[in-house]
Amino acid sequence: MKKRVALGIVGVALVAVGSAAEEVFTKAVAKADFSAAGLGKLSREELARLDGLVRDYQSGALAAARRDAAAAEAARVFAEARRAEGASVA
């Protein structure tokens, strides 16, 4: 019985955490902050894009994309240096 109660509490906590994680940024901001930040001037499309950016940032997707871009740039620079090195030897 105690095990079922504990599992029930954990289940409720997980649902609560999942709901909080799905909260949309522009809906969660207090009205005063929303206005003070100038968000009322944005179109629906712009607000949706902002929500997506915040969601990606929170999930780590933005950081991963930046790491991937930096790695690609480093690989490109390395490849160019190798080509230049090979051209100067010939």
| pLDDT mean over 56-63 | 83
Contact yes or no for 55/25 (Cβ under 8 A):
yes
Overall domain count for the chain: 1
Considering the domain boundaries, does residue 9 fall inside one? yes
- Over residues 72-89, the pLDDT tens digits come to 999 999 999 899 888 776
State if pTM tops 0.75: no
Contact yes or no for 51/25 (Cβ under 8 A):
yes
Considering the domain boundaries, does residue 72 fall inside one? no
Q: Return the higher-pLDDT residue of 73 and 11.
A: 73
What percent of the chain is predicted at pLDDT more than 70?
Answer: 73
The DSSP code sequence of the chain is -HHHHHHHHHHHHHHHHHHHHT--HHHHS-HHHHHHTTGGGS-HHHHHHHHHHHHHHHHTHHHHHHHHHHHHHHHHHHHHHHHHHHHHH-
Domain boundaries, position 29 = 1-43
Considering the domain boundaries, does residue 19 fall inside one? yes
